Amino acid sequence: MLKFDKLSLNIPETTKPRVVVIGGGFGGLNLVKKLNGKDFQIVMFDKQNYHGFWPLLYQVATAGLEPDAIAEPIRKMFDEEYEDFHFRLVRVLGVDPVAKTVKTLIGDLHYDYLVIATGTKANFFGNEQVQKYSFSLKTIPEALNLRSQLLQSFEQASITVDPENRESLLNFVIVGAGPTGVEMAGSLAEMRKHVLPGDYPGLDFSKMKIYLVEGLDRVLPPMSPEASAKTQRYLEDMGVIIKLKSLVDSYDGDVVTLKTGEQIRSQTVVWAAGVTGALIDGLPKESIVRGGRVTVNEFNQVAGYSDIFAIGDIAFMKSEKWPNGHPGVAQPAIQQGQHLAKNLRRLIRKEEMTPFDYFDKGSLAIIGRVRAVADLPGNLHLSGFVAWVAWLFVHIYYLIGFRSKLVVLSNWIYRLFTYERGTRLIIRPFVRKDDKDAEEFVMKNEIG
């Protein structure tokens, strides 16, 4: 057992400016890659030792990909070429801007420049009951929990004699019709048509219902009306039940109640309705805006500080072109990380920093096999097979590591021609803490 009083961050002393990066996502990763360790000592803190390609989490959840296909160890990405780079697997407790220190479970570390790249977490809008019983999809462990829940639901539906219980097991509710919700709904619909009937020949999958609940008046609100309308047609053709202008009031683990009073029996609710910034203690309240984001200027400096920066989803940079800040996707984080690296080098050379200017490369969403939509620069809208190929290319390109690209590409090609999915194994059964019946079932059957 580790004893915290016997642990140390073990970061060597240095005469170079020390840049501390909190978060190994797209922003932090691209910052470090572009920052020369010859000029800086770079320290990265993260609570996990890998970088994940989170846009593909839904495919891990639906057994399309294995977790290691979308993740790469952070230490592996920075070899001997990245001198004076130090990664520590540790949870950050807060920052002290006056003392210029980062506080962790195993000690404090002084910084010259601090970069906050912590991203976002699921936003349940204060609904603790929904948070307790639903499944969010922001990390690999959450995706694996959802995968186990999905497969366990089919296994249990195949042996129950109670029609109401079977209905509850075969109803799946996805809350939020943004890219994650839409892609999750499409993936489940394809499983229902092409995969599950072969795995469970005794089940009538015409009884399996997939609900997509959205509070606004269209699916894919961040994308164009053309992409939204096309996506809705795709989903409806695939048998997804779409409920627009609908908000979830409560969920007790068995029944979803909408604000309209409508109730849906379901034991699996996927929460994709919103995110909030993964904030760090110590920043002044006046720098925090709606959605838990940190206000930054055009140089990504946190309001009120010249030595603290925020990049990626956590950063709120308001401009005439982006009055609500940049979209919460990978590209702003990648570009801000790369640009900040250039500005930090300018700072140590006593040169003026240059403002960040986001180049919007467009948005994509996949609904299913050869079904996708794309909004590209120049007001160009694509759909169908062409958009699907574009989606494949973009996601393969931004995957980290040659092995990941090869594994994912081979999986997708195989599925294109066979409709087959990955290994649908319940390696780690999911049991809610207060579900005594499920705990007893797992124990009696010696699952796991």
Catalytic residues: 183
* Contact (Cβ atoms closer than 8 angstroms) between residue 276 and residue 155: no
Q: Which helix (H) or strand (E) holds 302?
A: none
Alpha-helical segments (H) within 272-358: 330-348
* 416's tokens: 């294109």
CA atoms of 116 and 313, how far apart (whole Å): 10
Written as one letter, the residue type at 150 is: L
296 DSSP 8-state letter: B
Alpha-helical segments (H) within 208-298: 225-237
Interstrand relation of 107-110 and 101-104 (parallel, antiparallel or unpaired): antiparallel
Paired with 363 in beta bridges are 375
Q: Where are the beta strands (DSSP E) in 38-180?
A: 41-46, 50-52, 71-73, 85-89, 92-96, 101-104, 107-110, 113-116, 120-122, 135-136, 171-175
